[in-house]
């Protein structure tokens, strides 16, 4: 398996994990917020972690040095419903600031009139380009006014491939996770999918099935249950699997929140994760590293997708329209080991 081209830049998430604090604490320490009642010992732990890991701030939140800096517009349908939108925006801002370019973000809720009004304003302002993003990986119908801007689509794509776009390689992520489980010795691999209408859920399932077929293992419908991308769905689907005709060696959850519910159900039934049964997640949300045992999962490369969007818009040349699928690497921890 080829290694993904993902930067090894230290992030605030890494600092928080190393220091044993929240990302908010790291942010306040970095920005010198003395009035936040953060203890001296906690501040020292954060600063020690920054020094040990070699963290270099990307300039987020700093005032511009000049009032006439260039600007990229970022238009996204939702931000608050998922941590991934903020990670992508940070990736865009991080890359843009290397070129002294500011980032202006709007959340539209999918309101087409609001989108068009914003795009007309940005045309008058002379923005460098526009990142048009979606919280869900999907085919989107961009507003007509977008064609007047240099544009890249983030976590979505248009039907005619008129604009350059970048999405996660979800099938390959599902396949890579299942290949790891197979290489560990698992054969009865169960899968809990998300809601069937979601493209990401469907593609992760396809990747799981493809890896089984490539290994000469038939796909068994009794080992596949539908969830809802929430802990409740993971718990209920896990209980159905445990009560089903085949006891799984491992349960592959199509996102980490369902894995949380899966852990809950397994512990209710007296299972010991990593000893009597294994679990795999998908997303690499922050909670994954705090579960016991720490959850082996698949990284969604939203920061790197944001970096790519800014690079594409700020390229001095006029590159061809490109449809990019960015690899989703497996993050190996402890939950996937063979019982």
DSSP code string of 322-337: -EEEE---EE--STT-
Contact 96, 311 (CB under 8 A): no
Residue 58 in any domain: the answer is no
For residues 250 and 149, membership in a common domain is answered with: no
For residues 203 and 87, membership in a common domain is answered with: no
Residue 95 in any domain: the answer is yes
Half-sphere exposure of 269 (CA within 13 A, CB side): 19
Residue 161 in any domain: the answer is yes
Residue 111 in any domain: the answer is yes
For residues 313 and 273, membership in a common domain is answered with: no
For residues 196 and 240, membership in a common domain is answered with: yes
- Distance from C-alpha of 246 to C-alpha of 186, rounded to nearest angstrom: 14
For residues 143 and 79, membership in a common domain is answered with: yes
Contact 75, 133 (CB under 8 A): yes
Per-residue pLDDT of the chain (339 residues; tens, 9 = 90+): 343 343 457 777 788 888 887 766 777 777 665 556 778 888 888 888 888 888 876 554 444 455 568 999 999 999 977 789 999 999 999 999 999 999 999 999 999 999 999 999 999 999 999 999 999 999 999 999 999 999 999 999 999 999 999 999 999 999 999 999 999 999 999 999 999 899 999 999 999 999 999 999 999 999 999 999 999 999 999 999 999 999 999 999 999 999 999 999 999 999 999 999 999 999 999 999 999 999 999 999 999 999 999 999 998 776 689 999 999 999 999 999 976
For residues 79 and 163, membership in a common domain is answered with: yes
For residues 291 and 306, membership in a common domain is answered with: no
Residue 5 in any domain: the answer is no
For residues 126 and 19, membership in a common domain is answered with: no
Task: For residue 163, give the CATH number of its domain.
Answer: 3.40.50.2300
Residue 121 in any domain: the answer is yes
For residues 81 and 129, membership in a common domain is answered with: yes
For residues 158 and 307, membership in a common domain is answered with: yes
pTM given for the model: 0.83
Range of the domain at 45: 12-53
Under 8 Å CB-to-CB from 103, ≥6 apart: which residues?
A: 71, 72, 74, 89, 92, 93, 96, 97, 310
For residues 195 and 206, membership in a common domain is answered with: yes
Residue 336 in any domain: the answer is no
Number of domains within the chain: 3
For residues 181 and 36, membership in a common domain is answered with: no
Place of tokens 């209710």: 268
Residue 338 in any domain: the answer is no
């Amino acid at each position: 398996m080829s290694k993904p081209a993902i930067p090894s830049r230290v992030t605030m998430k890494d600092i928080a994990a190393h220091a044993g604090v929240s990302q908010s604490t790291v942010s306040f320490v970095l920005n010198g917020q003395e009035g936040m009642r953060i203890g001296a010992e906690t501040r020292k732990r954060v600063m020690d972690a920054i020094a040990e890991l070699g963290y270099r701030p990307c300039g987020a939140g700093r005032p511009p040095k000049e009032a006439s800096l260039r600007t990229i517009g970022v238009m996204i349908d939702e931000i608050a419903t998922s941590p991934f939108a903020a990670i992508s925006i940070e990736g865009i801002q991080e890359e843009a600031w290397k070129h002294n370019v500011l980032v202006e973000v709007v959340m539209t809720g999918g309101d087409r009139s609001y989108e068009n009004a914003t795009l007309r304003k940005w045309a008058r302002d002379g923005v460098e380009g526009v990142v048009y993003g979606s919280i869900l990986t999907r085919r989107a119908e961009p507003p007509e006014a977008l064609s007047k801007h240099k544009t890249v689509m983030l976590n979505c794509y248009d039907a005619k491939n008129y604009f350059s776009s970048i999405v996660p390689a979800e099938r390959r992520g599902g396949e890579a996770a299942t290949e790891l489980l197979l290489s560990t010795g698992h054969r009865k691999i169960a899968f809990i999918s998300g809601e069937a209408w979601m493209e990401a859920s469907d593609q992760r399932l396809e990747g799981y099935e493809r890896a089984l077929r490539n290994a000469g293992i038939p796909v068994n419908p009794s080992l596949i249950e539908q969830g809802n991308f929430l802990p409740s769905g993971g718990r209920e689907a896990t209980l159905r699997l445990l009560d089903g005709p085949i006891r799984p060696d491992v349960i592959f959850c199509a996102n980490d929140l369902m894995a949380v519910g899966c852990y809950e159900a397994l512990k209710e039934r007296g299972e010991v994760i990593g000893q009597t049964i294994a679990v795999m997640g998908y997303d690499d949300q922050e909670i994954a590293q705090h579960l016991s045992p720490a959850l082996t999962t698949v990284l969604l490369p939203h920061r790197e997708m944001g970096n790519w969007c800014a690079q594409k818009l700020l390229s001095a040349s006029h590159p061809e329209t490109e449809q990019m699928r960015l690899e989703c690497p497996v993050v190996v921890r402890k939950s996937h080991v063979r019982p």
